[in-house]
Structure 1
Amino acid sequence: MQRESLARGFRITTKVGALTLEHEAPGVALLRVERAATGETMVPVFEALEPVIARHGSIVVFIDGEALESYDTDCRRRWTSWLSEHRGKVVVHVLVRSRLLQMGVNLVNPLIGGFIVSHSERSSFEAELRKARVRSRDHSAASRTGVSAIGSEGAGSLGFARRALRRSIHPASST
């Protein structure tokens, strides 16, 4: 396993695949996974996400799985465990192409509380990512000035994550 540092994250390459984790905005991360994902490659991902949750209280993780062809059982177990451990603090958006990944999302989502949003179209995935970046940056700017742009529950709160999930599931009710 080779790890390369990037300006906003890192890239891991193995014999079977690669992944890139980048911090897009405060409390927003983008994970791109190519070819195959293993449990071993998820360890540094979770280690990188933990301080974000500690600092912001929650995180919205976007997983670009369009180029993902397979994942091992250890990967699925680690994600299920990590998401269960952080229930209520994490919202996940997944771009899926393969039926395998979609089946995995469908299997895990009810077990952890239903906070994974699956996207089959890149356009809806990228639209949600743009919205999350803007909400996060608006909140960060408001926090610096002492004005709340989002309300009494800031971007780093459980409320922010829940509102992000509601907006992605019910876009018309995002007022």
Structure 2
Amino acid sequence: MQYGYTMMDASQRIEPFCAGKIFLDQRGDESRPGFRQLLHTLRKGDTVTIPSLSCLGSTLLQLSVKWEELTDKEVSVSILDFPELKTGDRHFSRLMDYLLDTDRQMRRKKQVNGMQRARDGGKRLGRKPKAIPDRFGEVYGEYEAGNLSARDAAGLLDVSHTTFLRWCRREETRKAELHV
């Protein structure tokens, strides 16, 4: 069977571009119900015509994922604005893998550089540390004496037990430094 798939703005009028049924999604709808329905309908050996590669996604990752979903169905895909591209073309798949990997590496490098610039500029990264409440010393004393579990002590201070234990380690380090 022959099918078509495209993405359009709601105000656009669809012009037939293939002989079979055309599945349609609206631009901006990330759930892509038309594409899901197309995948459900496709059988091995069917043909899918798509007006533009951009109908499959606006990012390399989206494009790669949609292309793989189509090729996994073992169908023939024809892209009207890129007729040289064929479904079984391993070069395209390898090119997409390379581009995705390069894109990920570049984004990661930019992220690391940005974080380093922020640190160099004196910014603290991550979540702001929770202030140790005034009652900590009293509750910590009860915990050290064995009268309270870490969870009970944390409950009294209205924090998680992991936060309480982190504060305890900090307190123990502080005490050890005073005795040196």
Higher-Rg structure is 2
TM-score between the two structures when normalised by the length of structure 1: 0.29
Looking at both structures, which has the greater relative contact order when contacts are Cα pairs under 8 Å and sequence separation is at least 6?
A: 1
Q: Normalised by the size of structure 2, how large is the TM-score?
A: 0.28
